[in-house]
Structure 1
Amino acid sequence: MKPFNLFFVFVYYLVGLVTRILHPTTVEGMENLPEHGALLCPNHSSNWDPILVVLRLPIHYRVHIMAKEELFRNPVLAWILRKVGAFPVSRGSNDIETVRTAMQSIKSGDNLLIFPEGTVIRNGIGYVDGLPPRARAGVAVIGVRTGATLIPVFVDGEKKLFHRTRIIFGKPYEPHYTGRRGTSEEMQKIADDLLEEAYALGGQAVGGAPLCGK
């Protein structure tokens, strides 16, 4: 497990207090979270998402965050991010070292947060040819190879100041695949299903559009 450091305690309470004022949240489904070995998979509608999710978890809940490498270009911010358990991922490349770090965080008994979309998707921003991108299959690969408990998570897209945001932790998703590691098609389907379930928790289709009848 990652060491529990005083800096994280400081950030958790100070930043947590600030975010509770600026972005009050309602959290549901905490009972669905295992203590160890969870792979949390939220939809990604804002840069606030990882902060809001992590700071609404209990302080003893050990979670690492896979964050885009651009955030680590500032040395001060990079130091802070690493202190709270984040590590960089190079989007659009086959970053083997990042995958190993992600898998090790789960195998060591901690938990991991990954955004299956890989980028912010909100009101058409991040869409390709008018459609939201598919989930990254690597999320499923990490989950299957580590035996992680896959948890879909919904985070409200609206992040207006002083407006309440919902965070919903869904029930564990049971992946289905053949053999020990499954096929690439099966991994893509698992990732897509996870993302679909995350949005469905909030009554939305993938990309944020309301589901019919909701």
Structure 2
Amino acid sequence: MYKFIGKFVKWFLGLFNKAEVFNKHNIPAEGGCIIACTHTGWIDILNLGVSIYPTPIHFMAKKQLFEIKGLGWFIKKMKAFPVDRENPGPSVIKIPRQLLKEGKIVGIFPSGTRNAEGDSLKQGTITIAQLSKAPVVPAAYIGPNTPKDVFRRQKGYLIFGEPFYVTAKGKEGREEYTHLLEKALMDLQQQLKEKIAAEK
């Protein structure tokens, strides 16, 4: 079912909003990894999801999305798994660790803004990387994020940064690499802005 839906999404975006992808070679050819991407809407999720099709990305998504009729079914088929951000339990770490152990790719959207949830999500990303020993691949997306923008055929841009491993331990290590991730995401967004400006 994933391949069928993934192929449909790729075809749909190809008609209206095919994103230009940079540095795809930064995704490890073998083994599990965490893709940590900026997030401003739901179109970036689709573009990231099909950027390495047919390889699936197992997205971490808030549990409320799974309760929406239709959408819940769709994101399950797209390999997403639910987490409770308000009351995080062991599954927040357990599920992605198991996926990474199986050599699969986990997608997380740590907010690019400096708010409490964004800081928590970045810390969570680093914690998972710290415990799983899997590399983190930062990524950034700039482009349309509403259906109206998609049908206007606005172009999207997606860039992958160089992977890194969380080698430091404990709380201080998490804080150090959380700042590193935040800087990597900001740098990637700036690189995309420069590429977009150069095209104009």
Place the TM-score, normalised by the shorter chain, in its bin.
0.7 to 0.9
Q: 2:157 is aligned with what amino acid? A: R
The offset of 1:171, in angstroms, is 0.9
Q: Report if the CA contact (8 A) 1:40-1:153 is conserved.
A: yes
The offset of 1:109, in angstroms, is 1.1
Q: 2:106 is aligned with what amino acid? A: L
- Which stretches of structure 1, 4 residues or longer, exceed 4 Å deviation after superposition? none
Which residue in 2 is equivalent to 1:149? 135
The offset of 1:192, in angstroms, is 2.8
Distance, in Å, in 2 between the alignment partners of 1:150 and 1:133 is: 17
Match of 1:173, SS state, is: coil
Does 2:161 match 1:175? no
The offset of 1:58, in angstroms, is 2.8
Match of 2:39, SS state, is: coil
Residue number among 85, 88, 92 corresponding to 1:94 in the alignment: 88
Q: Residue deviations 1:118-154, cap 9 Å, x none? A: xxx6xxxx765xx994353111010111111110101
Aligned CA distance change for structure 1 residues 132 and 158 (closer, same or farther; 3 Å) = farther
Q: Which runs of 5+ in 1 are unaligned?
A: 1-6
Q: Report if the CA contact (8 A) 2:135-2:166 is conserved.
A: no
More helix per residue: 1 or 2? 2
Distance, in Å, in 2 between the alignment partners of 1:40 and 1:111 is: 7
Residue number among 35, 49, 69 corresponding to 1:40 in the alignment: 35
Q: TM-score, normalised by structure 2?
A: 0.83
Does 2:195 match 1:201? no
Q: Residue deviations 1:23-60, cap 9 Å, x none? A: 2210011111113211000011112222110112131x
Which residue in 2 is equivalent to 1:3? none
Distance, in Å, in 2 between the alignment partners of 1:52 and 1:164 is: 11
Distance, in Å, in 2 between the alignment partners of 1:37 and 1:31 is: 15
Q: Report if the CA contact (8 A) 2:34-2:129 is conserved.
A: yes
Q: TM-score, normalised by structure 1?
A: 0.78
Match of 2:70, SS state, is: helix
How many correspondences in the alignment?
A: 188
Q: 1:151 is aligned with what amino acid? A: V
Does 2:160 match 1:190? no
Q: 1:12 is aligned with what amino acid? A: G
